[in-house]
Amino acid sequence: MAFPVLVCHCKLQGCGDVFTDVVLAQGWSRGGMIVNSLSLCYHNKLILAPMVRVGTLPMRLLALDYGADIVYCEELIDLKMLQCKRVVNEVLSTVDFVAPDDRVVFRTCRREQSRLVFQMGTSDAERALAVARLVEDDVAGIDVNMGCPKDYSTKGGMGAALLSDPDKIEKILSTLVKGTRRPVTCKIRILPSLEDTLSLVKRIESTGIAAIAVHGRKREERPQHPVSCETIKAIAETLSIPVIANGGSHDHIKDHLDIEDFRRATAASSVMVARAAMWNPSIFLKEGLRPLEEVMQKYIRYAVQYDNHYTNTKYCLCQMLREQLESPQGKLLHAAQSSREICEAFGLGTFYEETTQELDSRRAELLAKTPEETREPAEDPSGVIKMAVKFDRRAYSPQITPKTCLLEWCRREKLAQPVYETVQRPLDRLFCSVVTVAEQKYQSTLWDKSKKLAEQAAAIVCLRSQGLPEGRLGEESSSLHKRKREAPEQDPEGPRAQDPAKPGDLCKKPFVTLGSTKESPLEGW
């Protein structure tokens, strides 16, 4: 299906479209997310600033609800993102970037895609470009953090540490501008002198970025220090690209009307709001601030609907409550140790139950649907039988895994036990395994986040190609199930060989990394 490309009639530099911030290009990207083409417009915009632990999906959606034009995610470190795998989450209708330990590092959804800017922490141009290419199909813009003064950002030369290395700044931004299909921006702090600041921003502008966000404080200054509107104004009057003013929450921005006053004081194109939006995201609403109770309940609903980790939900709610943390509701929130308890503290217990039941039902439906193509084995020229399968523990009977099923079958057929050979791909640290049974090799074409999961997937390929039970819920009981029930009655004190087989204890599994001189059936992956 082809999408029409709108013609941009806006003459303002940095603005992609007079009708919509992002225009849809032809076709679809991987995973069903729409690929956007033209640039974001950074003129006359209200923007949610990147805030660590705050700028997650629920807060970004809430800010959009209340009138924000653009939302930034929290700063995410390049090395951490490069370990992640992009996963389409069909249960939540999101795209997740999942770390090897199964933690969701970054989650987004289609609704925010055309107005979401991904901010990264980086000190290396090539890593920055790799991250940009990893996420560019799911976001509208790419931003480099060059202003955060905190240790977690400045260590390794990231954040505000970059301000003392203009050559590195130029290399990172130039590489991104040339290498990604998304508009590139950066966020900086001002330097000790106006002359040095203007020299730096001119050099930054020359890289071809679409806009620059300026926090009007020096690296060593904190919110209690006054923001320098004059310096931001001098930058705005010097550059031809849009300048986004930031840092006004403490001195200037208390309600929506103050945002425009701050923009005028700085002569900026747009305003980026951080702490004032963290305290009450309805700051973006033209009609004025909404009651905090209403705002928090709406935030909690998004957090539950998108399976936000309860510790992050709790942190954001505490930032909203502020001086009310000692209230009865604040004490309930402080004591909450789960999303359920947070919901109950705010009178949303029924909503939590209904939503989680709906998500569980959706998850069960998806697990029950196994595409036919994943059940049809195919043999490639190397003789390895391959299928695109993954192992999901929730789809299998307790204490039963494909590896145990395969081992039991080999024992019954008097075959040598399965031998697994697993490799790890250096770029994303994902694993793939080949299992050899009766001199035939089997492999899943899908790479997995752990060695154990990759081996289970290989076992599934073997079992399915032989038409054998693999332990899935709903399958007819196999002799393995019977063996497990009978073993304790036969000899409660018998050897551990009668215990349920455990992954990792069944056989020797040689492990190599890609690039090893050892010949591997996975060579070339």
Q: What SS3 class is residue 80?
A: helix
CB 52 within 8 A of CB 42: no
Determine the Cα–Cα distance for residues 107 and 150; give it in Å rounded to an integer.
24
302-335 in b/e form (b: 16+ CB < 10 A) is: bbbbbbbebebbbebbebbbeeeeeeebbeebee
CA-closest candidate to residue 21, choices 133, 137, 135, 140: 140
CB atoms within 10 A of CB 194: 14
Q: How many helices (H) and strands (E) does the chain have?
A: 17, 20
Pairing of strands 34-36, 211-215: unpaired
Q: Which residues contact 356 (CB under 8 A, 6 or more apart)?
A: 304
153-163 in b/e form (b: 16+ CB < 10 A) is: bbeeebbbbbb
Angle at the Cα of 113 (from 112 to 114), degrees rounded to 5? 95
Angle at the Cα of 261 (from 259 to 264), degrees rounded to 5? 110
462 catalytic, yes or no? no
Q: What is the dihedral angle through the alpha carbons of 349, 352, 355, 361, rounded to the nearest 10 degrees?
A: -100
Determine the Cα–Cα distance for residues 480 and 406; give it in Å rounded to an integer.
10
Pairing of strands 419-424, 511-513: parallel
Q: Which of 15, 148, 316, 405 is catalytic?
A: 148
Helix then strand then coil, % of the chain, to nearest 5: 40, 20, 40
DSSP 8-state class, residue 271: E
Pairing of strands 243-246, 511-513: unpaired
CB 398 within 8 A of CB 417: no
Q: CA 355 → CA 90, 303, 339, 497, distances in Å? A: 15, 11, 12, 44
Determine the Cα–Cα distance for residues 188 and 426; give it in Å rounded to an integer.
33
Determine the Cα–Cα distance for residues 75 and 146; give it in Å rounded to an integer.
10
Positions annotated as catalytic residues are: 148
